[in-house]
Amino acid sequence: MPTEGDPTDFIKVLHLLLLSFTWGMQVWVSFIGGFVLVSQVTRHTFGLVQSKFFPVYFFSLLGSHFVNLAIYAVYHPRELLDWHEGVQMTLYFVALIMAGLNAHWFGPDATVAMFEMRGIEEEHGLGNEVGMGANKEGYAKLREKDPKYKALRTTFFRYHGLSNLCNLVGFICTTTNLIYLALHLQTI
């Protein structure tokens, strides 16, 4: 593989650790932590925890993706890339963009809508049940009665869905790059 000089052992270890850290964080947040938390605490507590946790998560992803892209770009100049390396560089870049969208737009917008919904839910005695499936009838009645709540819920799910999509795309990019790196451990 053509490179602009050989990376030091420190750079190789840093690159592998950051990529592994990022992947592990994505697995935990996307597939384990949220599901455990939502089944153990009230709906409003879950929302509060997520509102504090997600900015740290998104900005950690953003920083990790930036450093990984920078390391890869330094040792793989665009002019020397073959097709596979070009795809890998693109995956690093796409993961960075997805984390940036979540950190700066989708995550904060979903949080704002969630807190506005929470205020309305508290006025109607909702939000203290454990699990997202609890008291479906109460939430359905609130949507029917309150058009503002219905609109906020639509906004929340739009941004939440976009955030989940970005997170999933970023996870796929990170997974693919980690697999590629594992298959080519002599290089970065």
Does pLDDT of 108 surpass 60?
yes
Cβ contact 98:166 at 8 Å = yes
Query: Rounded to the nearest 10 degrees, how much is the dihedral formed by the CA atoms of 61, 63, 67, 68?
Result: 10
Q: What residues are paired with 117 via a beta bridge?
A: none
Cα–Cα distance between 126 and 118 in angstroms, integer? 8
At residue 76, the pLDDT reads: 85
Q: Is the pLDDT of residue 1 over 50?
A: no
Nearest to 100 by CA among 142, 67, 130, 58: 58
pLDDT digits (tens, 9 = 90+) for 39-69: 999 999 999 999 999 999 999 999 999 999 9
Of the chain, the percentage scoring pLDDT greater than 70 comes to 96
Quote the CA–CA distance of 74 and 35 in Å, as a whole number.
38
Within 8 A by CB and 6+ apart from 10, the residues are: none
Strand-pair partners of 57:
none
pLDDT band at 7 (very low <50, low <70, confident <90, very high): confident
- Checking if the pLDDT of 186 tops 60, the result is yes
- Find, among 125, 111, 98, the residue nearest to 52 by Cα: 111
* Structure confidence at residue 4 as a pLDDT band (50, 70, 90): low
CA separation for the pair 2, 104 (Å, rounded): 35
**Closest by Cα among 6, 26, 173 to 87:** 173
pLDDT in tens, 13-33: 999 999 999 999 999 999 999
Delimit the domains of the chain by residue range: 9-183
